[in-house]
Structures are given as C-alpha cells and as structure tokens.
Amino acid sequence: MEKQLDEMNGEELGRLFPIILSEHDPMWHGLYLSEKNTLEQTIDLNNIIRINHYGSTSVCNLRAKPTIDILLEIQNHMETEQIISLLKGIGYNYSPQPNNPAPHMMFMKGYTLSGFIGQAYHLHVRYSGDWDELYFRDYLILYPEIAEKYGELKLQLKQKYEFDREGYTNAKSNFIKNITEQARKEFGKRY
C-alpha cells in the first residue's frame, strides 16, 4: 500500500517536492487574485477579516519557488473543523502544524503522490493579527536591492538544500528575521 503524503517523512517529501526556483512570473499575481476570489466565495466574506498575497511570488523581480503563499485571516468565531471542511472541498490538503496549533493552520494545494500537479498554493489560516510575513514582504517591495540579496541567498541555499525543504527554510530564517526587525522599526505598527 502506497504511503499518503501525511505519512511521509521529511526526506521522502523532499525527494517528491524538491526546491525549485523560478524567475518572477507576472502571472503569479493573477493566480493569487483568482484563488482569493475562490476563497471569498468558499469561506464567505462575513468570516474573512483580510486576505494577503505574501512570500516571494508577491515581490516583483524576485526569484521564487513557484508557490503562491496566501495569508487568510478569519473571524474568531470560525470553528477549526468548519474551516478544514470548507477548504478540503476546494482541493486543499490540511497540514497539521504541531508547533503552531490552530488557529494557525496550513493548507496546501498542488501537492500529490506524483509530485506537483498544477499550481501549488500554501494557504495559512489565522485569526487577525500583526504578522511578520507582511512586514517582510513590504520591505522587499520597498527595497529591491534587499530583495535581490534575498534572491541570491535562495539560489545559494537551493544548491545545498534542494531535497531538504525544512533545511532550506531554516537556513533563510536569520535573513528573514533581521529584515523583519528592520521593517517593524521603519514601518511601526502597520497591521
């Protein structure tokens, strides 16, 4: 019997879903807008506080894994099981995050036992908050030279961590943390 994705270890997942970096694709914004529309229809606007496209695909001229990252902030009254059910209904797989318990939930689309199929999405569902990811995105948009340095770092790390998604993510964390701290100082409380 074939293992399901949620039964695979990090090494198995890394082989099935290696780190792929692409030059920026202007179509990513349109893909985000289309998925945003689907989410609004599925979740109901009354349950949504804010939806944001973030991550490298949201920054012009930045090379990125061709995965659209979306932050969906929901009303506090929404039940976890209700969200999981609604999102599974539109093709998302729920990925439990034991270190970030609900309401920080992660969903993925485009991941199959055959590898990536179609457009990949990472949907992060949280209650409303002041999230670091949005500050990081805004700083990269405002300072293209910092975005370029980040893109160069990602290229270097891909060579080392092509089949280790967790290692790749962890190796970027100091850069992201430092830039996010700078962004919070410069922008103040923006979100």
- The residues with which 108 forms a beta bridge, in sequence order, are 93, 122
Cβ atoms 84, 105 nearer than 8 A: yes
Q: According to DSSP H, which parts of 50-143 are helical? A: 80-88, 132-142
**pLDDT tens per residue across span 37-92:** 999 999 998 999 999 999 999 999 999 999 999 999 999 888 889 999 999 999 99
Check whether 18 has a pLDDT greater than 70: yes
Length of the chain: 191
Please name the residues in contact with 100: beta carbons below 8 A apart, sequence gap of 6 or more: 106
Q: Rounded distance, CA 56 to CA 58, Å?
A: 5
Per-residue tokens: 118 = 């179609």
**pTM of the predicted model, to two decimals?**
0.93
- In the chain, the N- to C-terminal Cα span, in Å, equals 47
For each of the domains in the chain, give its residue range(s) and CATH number, in order of start.
5-187 (3.30.460.10)
